[in-house]
Amino acid sequence: MEDQPERALVRVFPDYGAEWPVWGPDDLTDPERFSPRLVTDLREWQARWEQERGDPERYRSGSNAPGRQRDLDRLARHLAAELRGLADVRTDTWSSTDEDG
């Protein structure tokens, strides 16, 4: 039995100063490979995260954490669909909700 090649991993999570919250192999994370709507939605999600993160009281209150994570999960599903099985797509819950694990 032959070993299956390891699937690529694409991660979706925000980071300070990033315009594009998609991380992994360059050929699988280049915004040009995705639909314009998905690219816009991901960039807007990243910008909202950065804006909310800049207001520590609002961010740490967690008032928007469930919605922020729901949106990120939805965007990750769209990203996975557009990758058409070329990679596993995972989100980083901690960085979008400020919770451990």
pTM over 0.85: no
Range of the domain at 45: 8-97
Alpha-carbon distance 78 to 34, whole Å?
Answer: 10
Is 82 a member of any domain? yes
pLDDT digits (tens), the chain, 101 positions: 566 668 899 999 998 889 999 999 999 999 999 999 999 999 999 998 888 877 666 656 666 777 888 999 999 999 999 999 999 999 986 655 555 43
Q: Which residues contact 19 (CB under 8 A, 6 or more apart)?
A: 43, 46, 47
Alpha-carbon distance 56 to 54, whole Å?
Answer: 6
pLDDT tens digits for range 21-36: 999 999 999 999 999 9
Is 3 a member of any domain? no
Is 48 a member of any domain? yes
Is 2 a member of any domain? no
